[in-house]
Amino acid sequence: MAARNSLPDAPRLRITRLRKRADFLAAARHVRRVAGVVTLEIAPTPDLANEPETMRLGFTASKKIGNAVARNRAKRRLRAAAYAALPLSARAGHDYVLVARAGILTRDFAALKGDIAEAARAAHRKLDAPSL
């Protein structure tokens, strides 16, 4: 008998964290989409760091968000929302960077997850569009 909360064919992406500045800068050079209080930047994972069924995820909040306490809180909210929303729509072999925008500290959590999902859908449409 299967476990009560398990989904039989749910995608199981492993998530690793981006830590190096070069990886954040590489993501910033590719697709960028803004939705609500987040900006999502996506880039293909470099060949040397690419692992099967793995996505890489990074978070950032600038001083525009506030002092260190506010920036850390914004990144904690981003992490929680991203781990809830992105595995459902993310793609293996891509780097995702979430950038906090003004208003993230007061945004409803469900709306924050919706912003991340919306930004991911828009970014994936841009990735899939044929280049001219």
Residues in the chain: 132
Which architecture characterizes domain 14-128 according to CATH?
A: 2-Layer Sandwich (3.30)
pTM, two decimal places? 0.86
Which residue, 28, 38, 59, is CA-closest to 115?
38
Average pLDDT over residues 106-131: 92
CB atoms within 10 A of CB 75: 17
Task: Give the per-residue pLDDT at 106.
Answer: 96
Domain boundaries, the chain: 14-128
Tens of pLDDT, residue by residue over 46-63, are 877 778 888 999 999 999
